[in-house]
Each structure stands twice: as structure tokens, then as C-alpha cells.
Homo-oligomer: A and B are copies of this chain.
Amino acid sequence: MISEEEYLQQYNINHYTTPLCSVDVVIFRLHNQQLQVLTCARKQHPHIGQLGLPGGFIDIDQDKDLDATAHRKLHEKTGMRAPYLEQVGTVGNPQRDPRGWSVTVIYYALLPGTDIQQQTEDVRWCNIIGDSVTEQLAFDHNHLISQALERLRNKIQYTSLPVYLLPEEFTLADIRDVFAAILKKAPPMRSIRNRFLHEDLLEDTGKKRYGSNRPAALYRLKKTAKAHFYNRLYHTTQQE
């Protein structure tokens, strides 16, 4: 029996058959009331040229942990730091990648909403229709989007996540519109109001948004605010 020192000295991961291991990030944003996911054209085999999620292999030298890998992928494609990033889960099987048994850790991120067309370089924002995007993505990326979306649809019902999809200043009706965009239905304004104003979560900017109606108060997330968890679900927005 050899010692642990000797074992580690001799150990070479490349002598073993291990699965591929990657990280994929589902980046959501709202664009003109439409929920979108960022995709980019693949520059390498397999599925070269096809759209896919930002993601790929862990950089053994650079990434200090899995979250760092996800942050890095996000930053490479958007140049931004996301106000919300969360791990969804991990899928692994021999079919999802033609190179063999492969494992990928799924993250999702929420970016502040925007009405501005930017459409930079090689990235493309795809509309969410149903439970994924309509484009045929590389690997099982359509399915990964479904999983992230399912988490998002559940989680907005008992957390303050909707505000992370909005610009810095927003009205309560904007929150309702986030629900409508993501769930195709929204809780009544009374309920949204009760919830989001009751907690010490938002602050009134004092500013108003004007239209041809009574102006709406503009709120902003408090600097100290963390993602907030409520202890009930809405009734009107539950899936059955």
C-alpha cells in the first residue's frame, strides 16, 4: 500500500475517463415587455455556428470556484456584472454532448431591463416563447433554459426578484409588468403594493413618471437590500 503522498505524486487525471464538465449561464432580461435570453453563435466544434448559451469549460487556472466561472462567462458576453446570479442545478448524461458523457452546471442571471437596442457583436437576445426560445440551440441548451425559467417562474412568486429585471428606478406597475411578461398573468396591484411596500425594501425617489394619467411614484431598491423572501405565494399566479 502506497502512502497518500506517493499516490498524489503519481496521480494524473488524464489517465482516467471522466465526464466533460462545463458551466452554462441563462441570462434573462426584459426588452420591451418581452422576456429574453442571451445566446451567442458557437465559434468551435461541436455545433459550430449554431446559437448556444454563454458557457463552457472551467478555467482551472483562473476560476477560484464555480460561481467565478459563471461570473466570468457572464462578464465576457455582456461586459456587466449581474445584480442577481444563482445556481439552478446540474445535468449530466452521455447524450447531451457528442464528445461523450458530459456534466454542466446551470446558472441564471437577471439583468436590468432596457428599451435600448444594442445588439453588439456576436450575441443575440432570443425571445422566450412558452418554456424556452424558439431558436434551435446547440446541445440541450433549450432544455437548460426551460429549467432556469421554471426556477425563475417559481421564485418570483415569493421573492423580490422581479426588481432585478427592472432599471434602477421603477414604478409598482413595472413590477406587475414583470410578472405579466414572465407568467402571462400578474397578481393584482393591491397585492404587489402590500408586499413590496410593506417590507423595508424599496425607497421612494420622490420622482414621478408622468403620462396622460395620474403620475406614478418611482421607487428604487434600497442600497442595503438583499433579495427578499416572503413567506406566502400569490394565489392568482400559481401553477397547478
A4 partner residues in chain B, CB cutoff 8 A: 45-48, 98
User: Using an 8 Å CB-CB cutoff, how does the interface string of A68-79 with B read, 1 for contact, 0 for none?
Assistant: 010000000000
Q: A18-B20, A65-B92, A66-B92 are in contact. Are A8 and B60 (CB under 8 A)?
A: no
Question: A48 CB to closest chain B CB, in angstroms?
Answer: 7
A100 partner residues in chain B, CB cutoff 8 A: 13, 60
Q: Tell whether, in the assembled complex, residue B18 and residue A57 are in contact, meaning their CB atoms are under 8 Å apart.
A: yes
Contact with A98, one of B8, B93, B103 (Cβ below 8 angstroms): B8
Among A83-91, A108-116, A201-209, the stretch that binds chain B is A83-91
Tallying the copies of this chain within the complex gives: 2
User: Using an 8 Å CB-CB cutoff, how does the interface string of A23-61 with B read, 1 for contact, 0 for none?
Assistant: 000000000000000000000011110000000011010
Contact with A18, one of B13, B15, B46, B231 (Cβ below 8 angstroms): B13
A90 partner residues in chain B, CB cutoff 8 A: 66, 87, 89-90, 105
A228 at the A/B interface (Cβ < 8 Å)? no
Q: Tell whether, in the assembled complex, residue B17 and residue A101 are in contact, meaning their CB atoms are under 8 Å apart.
A: no
A92 partner residues in chain B, CB cutoff 8 A: 58, 65-66, 69, 105
Q: List 20 A-B contacts (CB under 8 A).
A: A4-B46, A8-B46, A13-B17, A14-B15, A16-B57, A18-B20, A18-B57, A18-B60, A19-B21, A19-B58, A60-B100, A64-B93, A65-B92, A87-B89, A90-B90, A90-B105, A103-B103, A231-B233, A231-B235, A231-B238
